[in-house]
Every structure is written in structure tokens, then in C-alpha cells.
């Protein structure tokens, strides 16, 4: 289960209950299931008809049979009544199921669209947006939207159809008595409206205070050590208690209005009943009304009150749904900044040449991480990137596989600007082995087949190249072995080996290795080193070195400093030169660069 995303005050703002633009887009989403929608809408009139038939059958039974002691006729009516009950049960069941099914399908479609959209968004977006917030969009906001269909829109249409039917049949049976009953409607609307508005405002306050309470609680949990160290427990407890009390009070206010609404409507229903007995009684005496009709009227009145009472609740549902829809569509409207261009250019030969030409890059504002950085790597060459922490070594990798786009200058892979490459092709062409081997839950195989069309052969080849074939054989179910969350059932070294194999599945011409800083056991270390040596043969390789000891045999070493290449050459040449690298090397004897 996900951790609930609580600290999101802006998610609690309720907007308008109906927004035509949003509703249009929602309808477009639901259109794929228009048959289900129309199917359930088509059921409404039949259901209403059967519902209205019940009190009328009662009237017939009383007036024509019971009062005339006609047992056979009564039995016949009872049989019809039973049939109506059965049919109604079936139809209502169908209606409810169709509605729920529509809701579920809409949720399913919206979720898929959202997730696929997120897959296309650029890295910068994920750096700025907490995963928890996105989880809320994908998991709960879509549910709220589907409520708009099931508990909101459909239910309102169904209620309106019922109301129209009830009004029509009451007028038809006895328009005078109907009008007397309707006299109470303005009062009903006034009462329902008054309490509903109050209840809604109170509910908003409840949400606001709950958000405050939860935010406070969450922060307390995270900063509990500080509270304890400064012995501020009592003070914080008082602050918390105040918010807790605020919340409880607002909750009670909300309950009061909600309960008053129900009680008020119920009381009005009884007043309507009294009216019926008083006026209807008089009309029975006049002979203008039968007993059965009066009984039927009493039942019709009940059916008349419920939809009006619940109208307000539906309003709140619609409001929440619209607010969620707004958030979902604003996410969907946000286009990816890094995309495959419309016209892509394929390189003449996929040899594995890399060139940075006057590259400038900043993650934010004008804080340049790379400033006029230029270098080239020829096919098959082994190059090591060196520099202290924060000098932009990893940034070079992100620009190379176009996780980010350069600010100025350009990055060429095999003579073509990465911004002109087909993104998928580029990333198959440039294999990256990350510092931290992230594996996903699923089987070992599903982590290695990547886009799914790699096939068994590619996986096996990659595994043996990465020295990981023996490891997989040792696993209880081989390739089918399931990985738990964070692949905790493998050792760090094993994860590293699998990550290396993964980078080899596409047989990339260019391999980028972001060296792991954390150490693994010596046995794994040796296997990893072996694997690396094998897979570097004949491939362009760029190593992001955190420990200088591992790069002595690189063809060329590039020293990054202040956003550009400060010096370059072989290990021996650089040492001889006695510059920055020589200093770093002296320093690096035994210690990590970070």
C-alpha cells in the first residue's frame, strides 16, 4: 500500500461543482464506454415506471378488492406486485452494475493515460514533483472523478426522471391533493438549501483543519528528535491539542448541519403526511378520493422527498470530482520538454563517437554546472571522467542520453545532435550503468528484457557477458525468480551484476559507467571487475570515476573542473604534468573522492 500523501493542502480546495470545459473533457474520456452509459440511462424510465407502479397497485388492491372483499382479485394483484418487485430488483441491479462498471472503466482509462503521460515527461519534472503527489493523481484523484459519473451525474439524472414521474402520477391521480402536497416543496427546498450550504461550508472547514492537523502531526513525527532533545514535548502537545480540538469542533459543526438537514427533511415529510390526512381525509368524505388513492399518495410522497434531500450530497461529490479532474487535466496538459523530434536524423554509422561542443548547462537559473565544456571520444576509446564532487561528471551522462537537454552548445553522438536522434534509439545506443543498481519488483527476467522484445537470446548473452549467468543459475527459480521491493532478496553485489547485464541487453555501442561509490564484498568486486573488462572490449566506454585507482589503464583521462575540461591525457602523462590530476591522485591514495 502506498503511503498516504497528506501534506498537500492545495489538494483540499474544493472548486465549482460544474465546469463546462472540464465536463466536456470528462465526457470525451467516457465516450469510449458510451454504450455502457447509454445502457444504464436507458434503464432509468423503466425503473421509474416500475417504482411508480407499486403504490398504484396498492391503491387498486385497496379500492377494488380489499374493500369489496374480493379475495381472488387481491391475489391477482399480489401476484402482479410480486412480479413488479422481481423485475425491479433485476433492473436496479443491472443499473447499479452498469454504473459501477462505467466508473471502473473510466478510472482504468484515465489511470493508463496518466501513467503513460508521466512516462514521457522529462527528468526535471520528477526532480521538482514529489512522487507522493503523483501517486495521489494516479491513485485517488481518478477515483474521485469516477464518482462524478456514478454518484454524481447519473444519480442526478435518475433522480430527475423519478421526480418527474412522481409529480406526473400524483397530478394525474388527484391534482388538488397533489398541489396541496407540493405546497410543502418550497419549504423543503429552503430547508435543504439552507442546511446544505451550511453543511458544505462546514465540511470545507473540516477538510482545511484536518489538513492542518495532519501536516502538524507529520512534521512532529519527522522532527520528534528535536522536540525530545529540547524537552518541548508539553509545548508541542499543547499546540497539537489545539489543532486537534479545532478539528473536532469543526467536525461537530458539520455533523450538526448534516443531522439537522436529515431531521428537517424527515419532519417535513411527516408534515406532508399530516397535510395528506387532513386534506385527503376531507376529500374522501366528499367522495372525491378513495382510501386506496390516499394510501398510494402517502407512499408517493416518500419517494418524492428522498432525491431532494440527497441533491446536496451529490453537489459535494461533484465539487470534489471537478477539483480532481482539474488537477488531472492540468497534469495531462503539461507536455514533455524532452521529446523525439518530428524529423529524426539517423547517424551514417553507429560507430560510437561522442562529442560535446561548447556545452553549457544549469539545473536551475544561471548556476552553470557545465560552462563551455568540450571534448570528444572516438569509437572504441576508453575515457575516464575525473573531478571532485559537484563538478558535473554525472551531468555529462544525463546530457549524453538526453535525460536533460543542454542549455547552450550541443552534444553529438555519431555526428548527430542528440536532440535530432530518435530518443529510443539513442538510449539503446548509449548504455548506462548507474551507481545505484535500481531493480524493479517482478522477475529477474522482466528486469532484463527491458522493452520486452529483447528476447531470451539477448538476455542470456548479456548475462554471460556480465558474469551473471552463474548467479542467475544459483537463484531458486533462475530467471523467473521474483524480486521483492528494492530487490532486497539479492546482495548488493548481485544487484550490481544484474544491473550490468541489463545495460548490455541492447548491446550498446557506447557504454557509460557511473562507478559505484559503495563497496561490495571482494568476491563480487572481482566478478564485477572481470565483467567490466570483458564488456569494455571493442566498445566506446566513458567511466565516471570516483576512485582514481580504477582508471589507470584508461586510454585518456579528462579532468573536469569548474564546468569544463581542465586537462586531459593518459594517467602517466597527467602525473608527469603535475597539474590538478596529479594533486587529485596524491589525495586519492586510499580515500574516495565522493
Partner 1 sequence: MCLAIATGLSLLIPWTVKHAIDALAADGAAAPLAHYVGLIVFCAVGNGAARLASRFAIAGAAQHVAADLLARLYAALQTFPPSAFARYTTGDLMARATSDVSAVRSLVGFGTISAASTVLAFVGALAAMMAVDPWLTVWAMAPSPVLVLLVRRYNALVTTRTHAMQDRLGELSTIVQERLAGMGVVRAYTMEARAAAEFAGANAALRDASAELARTQAHFTPLMGLVTGLGTLVILWAGGTAVASGRITLGALVAFTGYLGYLAWPTVALGFTLALGRRGLASMERIQQVLGDARTAADDTAAGVAPEAAVRFANLTFAYEGRPPVLRGVSFEVRPGELVAVVGPTGSGKSTLGLLLARLWEPPPRTVFLGGVDVTTLPLGRLRSALAWVPQDAFLFSRALADNVTLGRDGLGEGDVRRAATTAGIAEEVAAFPAGWDTVVGERGLTLSGGQRQRVALARALAAAPPLLVLDDVFANVDAAKEGQILAGLRAAAPTILLMTHRLRAAQGADRIVVLDEGRVVETGAHAALLAADGLYARLWRMQRLEEEIARA
Positive or negative CA dihedral for 517, 521, 527, 533?
A: positive
Would you say 131 or 190 has its CB closer to partner 1? 131
3-state secondary structure of 145: helix
Is 401 a binder of partner 1 (CB under 8 A)?
A: yes
Residues in 60-119 that interact with partner 1 by CB under 8 A: 61-62, 65-71, 74-75, 77-78, 81-82, 84-85, 88-90, 92-93, 96-97, 100-101, 103-105, 107-108, 111-112, 115-116, 118-119
What minimum distance in Å lies between the beta carbon of 258 and partner 1? 9
Q: Single out the residue of 156, 251, 536, 565 in contact with partner 1 (rule: CB under 8 A).
A: 251
Q: How far is the CB of 344 from partner 1 (least distance, A)?
A: 15
337 counts as binding partner 1 under rule CB under 8 A? no
Considering only residues 280 to 299 of the shown chain, the ones binding partner 1 according to CB under 8 A are 281-282, 284-285, 291, 294-295, 298-299
**Closest Cα partner for 269 from 206, 211, 188?**
188
Query: Within a 10 A sphere around the Cβ of 196, how many other Cβ atoms?
Result: 20
Q: Which residue lies nearer to partner 1 by CB, 23 or 332? A: 332
Footprint of partner 1 on 345-374 (CB under 8 A): none
Question: What would the grid cell of residue 179 be?
Answer: 398541489
**Among residues 11, 141, 236, 494, the one that binds partner 1 under rule CB under 8 A:** 236
Q: Please, which of residues 121-180 interact with partner 1 by CB under 8 A? A: 123, 126, 131, 134-135, 138-139
CB of 48 to partner 1, least distance (A): 13
Interacting positions 475-504 with partner 1 (CB under 8 A)? 485, 502-503
Nearer to partner 1, 366 or 451 (CB): 451
Instruction: Select 8 or 555, whichever has its Cβ closest to partner 1.
Output: 8
Measured between alpha carbons, how far is 528 from 487 in angstroms, rounded to an integer? 18
Distance CA 129, CA 351 (A): 37
Q: What one-character DSSP code corresponds to residue 481? A: P
Among residue numbers 193 through 222, which ones bind partner 1 (CB under 8 A)?
214-215, 217-222
Smallest distance from partner 1 to CB 289, Å: 11
Which of residues 108 and 576 has its CB atom nearest to partner 1 in the complex?
108
Are the C-beta atoms of 433 and 513 separated by less than 8 Å? yes
Nearer to partner 1, 19 or 561 (CB): 561
Closest alpha carbon to 498 in 481, 512, 519? 481
**Minimal distance, residue 229 CB to partner 1, in Å:** 6
Closer residue to partner 1, CB minimum distance, 115 or 175: 115
Closest contact distance (angstroms) between CB of 128 and partner 1 is: 12
Nearer to partner 1 by Cβ, of 245 and 521: the residue is 245
**CA separation for the pair 529, 389 (Å, rounded):** 23
Neighbours of 542 (CB within 10 A): 25
Binding to partner 1 (CB under 8 A) within 403-422 occurs at: 403
Q: Strand 416-417 to strand 442-443: parallel, antiparallel, or no bridges (unpaired)?
A: unpaired
- Least Å from the CB of residue 169 to partner 1: 17
CA 14 to CA 204: how far, in whole Å? 7
Sole binder of partner 1 in the list 302, 330, 376, 549 (CB under 8 A): 302
Q: Pick from 168, 183, 197, 267: which binds partner 1 (CB under 8 A)? A: 267
Among residues 167 and 210, whose Cβ is nearest to partner 1?
A: 210
Sign of the dihedral through C-alpha 406, 411, 417, 422: negative
Terminal-to-terminal C-alpha distance of the chain:
35
Task: Considering the complex, state which of residue 69 and residue 348 has its C-beta at the smaller distance from partner 1.
Answer: 69
- Residues 502, 580: Cα–Cα separation, whole Å: 35
Handedness of CA 569, 575, 578, 583 (dihedral sign): positive
Q: Binding segment for partner 1 among 55-63, 308-316, 355-363, 533-541 (CB under 8 A)?
A: 55-63
Single out the segment in contact with partner 1 by CB under 8 A; choices: 182-190, 305-313, 412-420, 447-455: 447-455
Choose between 189 and 252: whose C-beta lies nearer to partner 1.
Answer: 252
Please, which residue, 24 or 86, has the CB nearer to partner 1? Answer: 86
Longest Cα separation, the chain: 122
Angle at 134 between CA 132 and CA 136, to 5 degrees: 75
Grid cell of 576 as nine digits: 608527469
CB of 269 closer than 8 Å to CB of 304: no
- Is 155 in contact with 318 (CB distance < 8 Å)? no
Query: Of the ranges 175-183, 241-249, 350-358, 538-546, which one interacts with partner 1 (CB under 8 A)?
Result: 241-249
Q: What are phi and psi of 417, to 5 degrees?
A: -55, 130
| 8-state DSSP, 449 | S
Rule CB under 8 A: which of 502-521 touch partner 1? 502-503, 505-506
Closer to partner 1 by CB, 313 or 580: give it. 580
Tell which residue, 465, 548, 559, has the closest CA to residue 508. 465
What's the chain's Rg over C-alpha atoms? 36
What's the min distance (Å) between Cβ of 20 and partner 1? 28
| Whether the Cβ atoms of residue 433 and residue 425 lie closer than 8 Å to each other | no
Torsion over CA: 95, 99, 104, 109 (sign): positive
- Quote the least distance from Cβ 97 to partner 1, whole Å: 4
Distance from the Cα of residue 211 to its chain's centroid: 20
Pick the stretch among 195-203, 261-269, 314-322, 532-540 that binds partner 1 (CB under 8 A). Answer: 261-269
List 273, 371, 458, 565, residue binding partner 1 (CB under 8 A):
273
CA dist 282 to 10, 182, 275, 288, Å? Answer: 59, 18, 11, 9
Pick the closer one to partner 1 by CB: 244 or 491: 244
440 near partner 1, rule: CB under 8 A: yes
The DSSP line for 110-136 is HHHHHHHHHHHS-HHHHHHS-HHHHHH
What is the distance between the alpha carbons of residues 139 and 122, in angstroms, rounded to a whole number? 21
If we measure between CA atoms, which residue out of 408, 372, 355 comes closest to residue 542?
A: 355
Of 168, 183, 197, 274, the residue at the interface with partner 1 (CB under 8 A) is 274
Residue 259 vs 480, nearer CB to partner 1:
259
Size of site (CB under 8 A) for partner 1: 143
Select from 374, 376, 441, 549 the one that contacts partner 1 (CB under 8 A). 441
Amino acid at each position: 500500500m502506498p503511503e498516504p500523501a497528506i501534506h498537500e493542502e492545495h489538494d483540499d480546495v474544493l472548486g465549482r461543482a460544474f465546469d463546462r470545459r472540464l465536463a466536456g473533457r470528462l465526457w470525451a474520456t467516457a465516450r469510449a464506454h458510451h454504450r455502457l452509459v447509454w445502457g444504464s440511462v436507458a434503464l432509468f424510465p423503466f425503473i421509474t415506471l416500475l417504482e411508480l407502479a407499486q403504490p398504484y397497485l396498492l391503491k387498486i388492491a385497496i379500492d377494488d378488492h380489499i374493500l369489496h372483499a374480493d379475495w381472488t382479485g387481491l391475489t391477482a394483484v399480489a401476484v402482479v406486485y410480486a412480479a413488479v418487485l422481481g423485475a425491479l430488483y433485476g433492473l436496479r441491479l443491472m443499473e447499479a452494475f452498469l454504473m459501477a462498471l462505467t466508473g471502473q472503466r473510466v478510472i482504468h482509462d484515465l489511470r493508463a493515460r496518466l501513467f503513460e503521460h508521466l512516462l514521457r515527461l522529462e527528468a526535471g519534472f520528477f526532480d521538482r514533483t514529489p512522487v507522493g503527489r503523483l501517486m495521489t493523481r494516479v491513485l485517488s484523484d481518478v477515483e474521485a472523478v469516477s464518482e462524478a459519473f456514478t454518484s454524481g451525474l447519473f444519480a442526478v439524472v435518475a433522480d430527475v426522471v423519478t421526480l418527474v414521474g412522481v409529480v406526473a402520477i400524483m397530478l394525474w391521480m388527484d391534482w388538488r391533493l397533489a398541489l396541496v402536497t407540493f405546497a410543502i416543496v418550497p419549504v423543503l427546498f429552503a430547508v435543504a438549501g439552507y442546511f446544505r450550504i451550511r453543511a458544505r461550508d462546514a465540511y470545507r472547514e473540516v477538510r482545511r483543519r484536518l489538513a492542518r492537523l495532519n501536516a502538524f502531526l507529520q512534521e512532529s513525527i519527522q522532527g520528534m528528535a528535536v522536540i525530545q532533545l529540547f524537552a518541548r514535548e508539553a509545548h508541542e502537545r499543547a499546540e497539537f491539542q489545539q489543532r486537534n480540538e479545532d478539528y473536532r469542533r469543526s467536525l461537530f459543526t458539520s455533523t450538526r448541519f448534516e443531522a439537522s438537514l436529515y431531521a428537517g427533511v424527515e419532519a417535513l415529510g411527516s408534515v406532508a403526511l399530516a397535510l395528506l390526512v387532513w386534506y385527503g381525509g376531507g376529500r374522501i368524505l366528499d367522495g372525491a378520493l378513495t382510501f386506496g388513492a390516499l394510501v398510494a399518495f402517502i407512499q408517493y410522497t416518500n419517494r418524492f422527498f428522498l432525491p431532494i434531500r440527497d441533491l446536496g450530497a451529490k453537489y459535494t461529490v461533484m465539487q470534489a470530482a471537478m477539483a480532481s479532474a482539474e488537477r488531472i487535466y492540468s497534469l495531462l496538459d503539461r507536455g514533455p520538454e524532452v521529446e523525439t523530434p518530428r524529423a529524426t536524423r539517423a547517424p551514417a554509422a553507429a560507430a560510437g563517437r561522442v562529442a560535446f561542443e561548447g556545452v553549457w548547462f544549469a539545473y536551475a537559473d544561471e548556476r552553470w554546472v557545465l560552462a563551455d565544456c568540450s571534448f570528444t571520444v572516438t569509437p572504441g576509446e576508453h575515457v575516464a571522467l575525473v573531478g571532485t564532487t559537484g563538478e558535473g561528471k554525472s551531468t555529462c551522462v544525463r546530457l549524453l542520453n538526453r535525460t536533460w537537454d543542454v542549455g547552450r552548445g550541443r552534444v553529438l553522438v555519431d555526428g548527430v545532435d542528440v536532440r535530432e536522434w530518435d530518443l529510443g534509439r539513442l538510449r539503446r545506443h548509449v548504455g548506462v550503468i548507474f551507481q545505484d543498481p535500481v531493480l524493479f519488483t517482478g522477475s529477474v527476467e522482466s528486469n532484463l528484457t527491458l522493452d520486452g522484445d529483447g528476447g531470451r537470446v539477448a538476455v542470456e548473452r548479456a548475462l554471460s557477458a556480465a558474469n551473471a549467468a552463474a548467479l542467475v543459475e544459483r537463484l531458486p527459480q533462475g530467471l523467473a525468480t521474483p524480486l521483492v521491493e528494492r530487490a532486497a532478496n539479492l546482495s548488493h553485489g548481485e544487484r550490481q551484476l544484474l544491473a550490468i547485464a541489463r545495460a548490455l541487453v541492447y548491446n550498446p555501442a557506447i557504454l557509460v559507467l557511473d562507478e559505484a561509490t559503495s563497496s561490495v564484498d571482494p568476491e563480487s568486486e572481482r566478478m564485477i571487475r572481470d565483467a567490466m573488462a570483458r564488456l569494455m572490449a571493442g566498445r566506446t566506454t566513458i567511466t565516471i570515476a570516483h576512485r582514481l585507482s580504477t582508471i589507470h589503464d584508461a586510454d585518456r583521462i579528462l579532468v573536469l573542473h569548474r564546468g569544463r575540461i581542465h586537462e586531459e591525457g593518459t594517467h602517466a602523462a597527467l602525473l608527469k604534468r603535475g597539474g590538478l590530476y596529479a594533486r587529485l591522485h596524491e589525495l586519492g591514495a586510499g580515500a574516495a573522492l565522493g
